Amino acid sequence: MFLGMGRPAWKEARATLQKILSADEPVLRDNEALRNKCLVPMSDIEMVLPINVGGYTDFFCSVHHARNCGFIFRGPQTPVNPNWFHLPIGYNGRASSVVVSGTDVIRPRGQGHPTGNSGPYFGPSQKLDFELEMAAIVGPGNELGKPIDINNAEDHIFGLALMNDWSARDIQAWETIPLGPFLGKSFSTTISPWIVTLDALKPFTCEAPKQEPEPLPYLAEKNHANYDIPLEVWIKPKDQSDASIVSKTNFKHLYWTLTQQLAHHTINGCNMRPGDIFATGTLSGPEPESLGCLLELTWNGQKEIPVGNSTRKFLEDGDEVILTGCCKGEGYNIGFGTCTGKVLPSLP
C-alpha cells in the first residue's frame, strides 16, 4: 500500500510526477496519445474516497473554538477546562460514515433537551451545523504498544484534506455528558477527494502558537510548526443561484499541532494504520468572521448571519455547504479543491 511505504516513496513519486508534467520533459509534452490517456477532464470522472478509512479520530485543538464553546455552554467562569492546555483532547469517530465530497447529507433524527416538564424531544435535528476541519491521513503508522515519537511523527503523516464534520448540536448537547458525542456526530463526515502532501506544504510552514504551560516532554517538539492555509466556508441556499461566504479563517491558528496530535494518540501504545485519519476539530480563528461553525457564528442561535438574501441560525434543508482551501505561493497555488455536501430532509 502506497501510504504504508513512507516518506521516501512519497517523495520519489512526487518528484517523478513533477518531472513528467514539466514543460521541459518531452515524455508527455510530445506524445499526444499518451497525454490523452494520462490527463482526463474532471467532468469525465467520478471522484471517490481517496483512502479506505480504517479508523477516524476527531480532535478539539483550536483554542478559539474551545473557548467559544465553553462560553456558550458553561459561561465565562471556566470557558476552557484546565486539562485542555495539557493534552490534545479527542474522541473516536465513526469511520463507516466518512463520505466523499458531493455526497448528500440526510438531516439526522435523535433526542434533544426536554423543555419545561415534558420528556426529551425526538425528531429531526433543529440545529444542524457544519464544522470546518482538516483531516490528516496516516502513513506507515506504528505497531501496537510502540508509541510514535513526537520528533518522528511528521514521517507518519502523508498529507491533509478538507473535512466537514457535520454536527447536530441539539442531539449532541443532550447526549454528550458523560461520554462525549455520539449520534450528534456519527451520521456523516465529509472529506475532499484531494490530499495535499506535507512535502507540498513545506513552503507554507509557519510558527505555531506559543503554548502555556509548556507541554509535557512527550509533546515537546523540536520544530513547533503549523501551515499557513487560508480556509473559507460558503453556503448556497436551495433558492439562490450563488453561494455566499460565511467564514474565512486559517489553519495556522491551530493550538495543538498535527504532530502533537499523533504523538498523543499513540503514547498509550495505540496502533495507527495506513489510511487512518485524525481531524483537527473546528478551525476557528480570533476574529468574528473567522469562526468555523454556525454554533459560534450565531452564538448557538442567539443571532442570525446573512447568507445572500436570506439569514441563517443553523442549516436548512437544501443548503449546500462548500469548504475551500488554497495556499498562495509566489506565482503558484497549492489548492485543496472543495469539500461539499447538500442537506436533504430527514427521513419520515
pLDDT for the residue 348:
86
Number of other CB atoms surrounding residue 77 within 10 Å: 7
Rg (CA), the chain: 21
pLDDT in tens, 42-81: 899 999 999 999 999 999 999 999 999 999 999 998 899 9
Give me the CATH topology for the region 51-344: Fumarylacetoacetate hydrolase; domain 2 (3.90.850)
Domain spans of the chain? 51-344
The string of pLDDT tens digits covering residues 2-27 is: 999 999 999 999 999 999 999 999 99
Q: Is 156 assigned a catalytic role? A: no
**Do residues 301 and 313 lie in contact, with contact meaning Cβ atoms separated by under 8 Å?**
yes
Per residue in 136-149, pLDDT (tens digit) is 999 999 999 999 99
Binding residues for Ca(2+) are 58, 131, 133, 165
- Taking every pair of Cα atoms in the chain, the longest distance, rounded to a whole number of angstroms, is 76
Whether the link from the prior residue into 82 is cis, omega within 30° of 0, is: no
Would you say 327 and 159 are in contact if contact means Cβ atoms under 8 Å apart? no
Listed in sequence order, the DSSP H helices in 197-257 are 198-201
Mean pLDDT of 260-278: 98
Percent of the chain with pLDDT over 70: 100
Which positions make up the binding site?
58, 60, 74, 131, 133, 165, 172, 185, 189, 282
Query: Tell me, what's the pLDDT at 1?
Result: 84
User: Which residue out of 65, 156, 264, 265 is catalytically annotated?
Assistant: 65
Q: What's the whole-number average pLDDT of the chain?
A: 97
Annotated binding site for Mg(2+): 165, 185, 189
**Cβ(59)–Cβ(88) below 8 Å:** yes
| CA nearest to 91, candidates 281, 252, 256, 253 | 281
Alpha helices in the chain (DSSP H): 7-20, 26-29, 32-38, 63-74, 169-175, 198-201, 258-266, 294-297
Enumerate residues 6+ apart whose C-beta is below 8 A from 187.
Answer: 97, 105, 106, 108, 166, 168
List, in sequence order, every beta strand (DSSP E) within 26-154. Answer: 56-59, 90-92, 98-100, 105-106, 109-112, 121-124, 128-129, 132-138
Q: How confident is the model at residue 217 (pLDDT cuts 50, 70, 90)?
A: very high
